Amino acid sequence: MLLARYIWGNVTYAIDDDVLRISTPLKSLVISIDNIKKIRRGKFWVESGRNYSATYIKLRIIYDRNSYIYVSPEDEELFVDTLQAINPNIEYSSERGL
Protein backbone atom coordinates (compact mmCIF):
# COMPACT_ATOMS: atom_id res chain seq x y z
CA MET A 1 0.00 0.00 0.00
CA LEU A 2 2.80 2.43 0.86
CA LEU A 3 4.58 1.64 -2.41
CA ALA A 4 1.43 2.43 -4.41
CA ARG A 5 0.99 5.70 -2.52
CA TYR A 6 4.64 6.62 -3.21
CA ILE A 7 4.40 5.80 -6.92
CA TRP A 8 1.12 7.61 -7.62
CA GLY A 9 1.91 10.41 -5.21
CA ASN A 10 4.97 11.25 -7.28
CA VAL A 11 3.41 11.70 -10.71
CA THR A 12 4.67 14.77 -12.55
CA TYR A 13 3.27 16.44 -15.64
CA ALA A 14 5.54 18.75 -17.62
CA ILE A 15 4.76 20.67 -20.80
CA ASP A 16 7.99 21.35 -22.69
CA ASP A 17 7.60 23.19 -26.00
CA ASP A 18 5.28 20.88 -27.95
CA VAL A 19 5.38 17.71 -25.79
CA LEU A 20 3.62 16.54 -22.66
CA ARG A 21 5.91 14.53 -20.35
CA ILE A 22 4.28 12.34 -17.72
CA SER A 23 6.59 10.67 -15.21
CA THR A 24 6.33 8.34 -12.23
CA PRO A 25 9.18 6.63 -10.38
CA LEU A 26 8.57 3.46 -12.47
CA LYS A 27 7.55 4.68 -15.93
CA SER A 28 7.38 7.70 -18.20
CA LEU A 29 5.44 8.73 -21.26
CA VAL A 30 5.98 11.50 -23.81
CA ILE A 31 3.10 12.67 -26.02
CA SER A 32 3.30 15.22 -28.79
CA ILE A 33 0.73 17.92 -28.01
CA ASP A 34 -0.01 18.18 -31.73
CA ASN A 35 -1.29 14.57 -31.57
CA ILE A 36 -3.78 15.24 -28.75
CA LYS A 37 -7.33 15.13 -30.15
CA LYS A 38 -9.59 15.44 -27.10
CA ILE A 39 -9.55 15.82 -23.33
CA ARG A 40 -12.56 14.63 -21.36
CA ARG A 41 -13.11 15.15 -17.64
CA GLY A 42 -15.12 12.51 -15.87
CA LYS A 43 -15.35 9.44 -13.68
CA PHE A 44 -13.58 6.56 -15.34
CA TRP A 45 -12.88 2.93 -14.52
CA VAL A 46 -9.25 2.61 -15.47
CA GLU A 47 -7.35 -0.19 -17.16
CA SER A 48 -3.87 -0.91 -15.86
CA GLY A 49 -1.05 0.56 -17.90
CA ARG A 50 -2.95 3.70 -18.92
CA ASN A 51 -3.42 5.33 -15.55
CA TYR A 52 -1.18 8.24 -14.55
CA SER A 53 -3.80 9.47 -12.10
CA ALA A 54 -4.35 9.00 -8.38
CA THR A 55 -7.94 10.22 -8.28
CA TYR A 56 -11.35 8.86 -9.27
CA ILE A 57 -12.33 11.98 -11.23
CA LYS A 58 -9.69 12.46 -13.87
CA LEU A 59 -8.91 13.67 -17.36
CA ARG A 60 -8.87 11.22 -20.24
CA ILE A 61 -6.47 12.39 -22.95
CA ILE A 62 -7.11 10.90 -26.38
CA TYR A 63 -4.14 11.16 -28.74
CA ASP A 64 -2.79 9.69 -31.97
CA ARG A 65 -5.39 7.50 -33.68
CA ASN A 66 -7.13 5.96 -30.67
CA SER A 67 -4.63 5.89 -27.82
CA TYR A 68 -5.54 7.34 -24.45
CA ILE A 69 -4.28 7.84 -20.92
CA TYR A 70 -5.73 9.12 -17.65
CA VAL A 71 -4.18 12.00 -15.72
CA SER A 72 -5.05 14.16 -12.73
CA PRO A 73 -3.02 17.38 -12.74
CA GLU A 74 -3.27 19.59 -9.69
CA ASP A 75 -4.77 22.53 -11.63
CA GLU A 76 -6.94 20.96 -14.35
CA GLU A 77 -8.08 24.27 -15.85
CA LEU A 78 -4.55 25.62 -16.27
CA PHE A 79 -3.37 22.25 -17.62
CA VAL A 80 -6.11 22.13 -20.29
CA ASP A 81 -5.72 25.84 -21.16
CA THR A 82 -1.96 25.42 -21.63
CA LEU A 83 -2.41 22.41 -23.91
CA GLN A 84 -5.10 24.23 -25.94
CA ALA A 85 -2.85 27.29 -26.29
CA ILE A 86 -0.27 25.07 -27.99
CA ASN A 87 -2.82 23.05 -29.98
CA PRO A 88 -6.12 24.96 -30.40
CA ASN A 89 -7.69 21.90 -32.10
CA ILE A 90 -7.90 19.99 -28.80
CA GLU A 91 -11.54 19.48 -27.86
CA TYR A 92 -12.44 19.60 -24.15
CA SER A 93 -15.58 18.25 -22.54
CA SER A 94 -16.78 17.51 -19.03
CA GLU A 95 -19.44 15.15 -17.71
CA ARG A 96 -22.45 16.91 -16.21
CA GLY A 97 -22.37 17.58 -12.53
CA LEU A 98 -18.59 17.53 -12.17
Amino acid at 61: I
The DSSP secondary-structure symbol of 3 reads: H
Is the pLDDT at 95 greater than 80? The verdict is no
Domains and CATH numbers, the chain: 2-94 (2.30.29)
Of 21-35, 45-59, 80-94, least confident by mean pLDDT is 45-59
User: pTM (2 decimals)?
Assistant: 0.78
Q: Which whole number is the average pLDDT over 67-81?
A: 91
Q: Which residues of 61-82 are buried (b: 16+ CB within 10 A; e: fewer)?
A: bbbeeeebbbbbbeebeebbee
The DSSP secondary-structure symbol of 89 reads: T
Q: Which whole number is the average pLDDT over 76-98?
A: 88
Distance between CA atoms of 9 and 24, rounded to whole angstroms? Answer: 9
